[in-house]
């Protein structure tokens, strides 16, 4: 069964960027990625993915409407087993504290260090294997 990573960000170019960065893994079918441009769309996708092997959720914080920090507890309620990593341009201590308190696995800052992100993903994949 293929492993799924869900990426939540309101910037459409995030999808292009991620697909290029992880092109080899996606081509080889190591995992698949799906993209949601808002928190409600993401929640819908998480609900639909009940049977799917969702291994990781990456979410932006600053989004119009429901923010990433609002999404976090709802996503954890739906799938307590799936780790959520927050990605934000605001790396201040207060945001970090809030994210970790609400059950986030980690907080990465933008511009995304894809080396770090790759390590995080590899860890999840090894855990499921």
Contact positions vs another protein (CB under 8 A): 11, 13, 17, 20-21, 89, 92, 110-112, 114
* Distance of alpha carbon 43 from alpha carbon 66, whole angstroms: 11
Pick from 61, 71, 57: nearest CA to 105: 57
Question: Min. distance of Cβ 97 from another protein in angstroms?
Answer: 15
CB atoms within 10 A of CB 16: 11
Q: Compare residues 76 and 110 and give the one whose CB is closer to another protein.
A: 110
Q: In angstroms, what is the minimal distance from the CB of 16 to another protein?
A: 8
CB of 61 to another protein, least distance (A): 12
Identity of the residue, 31 or 82, whose beta carbon is nearer to another protein in the bound complex = 31
Rounded-to-integer distance, Cα 129 and Cα 116, Å: 20
């Amino acid at each position: 069964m293929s492993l799924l990573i869900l990426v939540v960000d309101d910037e459409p170019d995030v999808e292009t960027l991620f697909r290029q960065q992880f092109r080899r893994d996606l081509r080889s079918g190591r995992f698949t990625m799906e993209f949601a441009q808002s928190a409600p769309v993401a929640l819908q996708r998480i609900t639909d993915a009940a049977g799917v092997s969702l291994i990781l959720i990456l979410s932006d914080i600053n989004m119009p409407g429901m923010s990433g920090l609002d999404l976090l507890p709802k996503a954890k309620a739906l799938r307590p087993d799936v780790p959520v990593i927050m990605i934000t341009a605001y790396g201040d201590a207060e945001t970090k504290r809030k994210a970790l308190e609400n059950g986030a696995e980690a907080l990465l800052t933008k511009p995304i260090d894809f080396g770090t992100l790759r390590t995080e993903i590899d860890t999840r994949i090894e855990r499921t294997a």
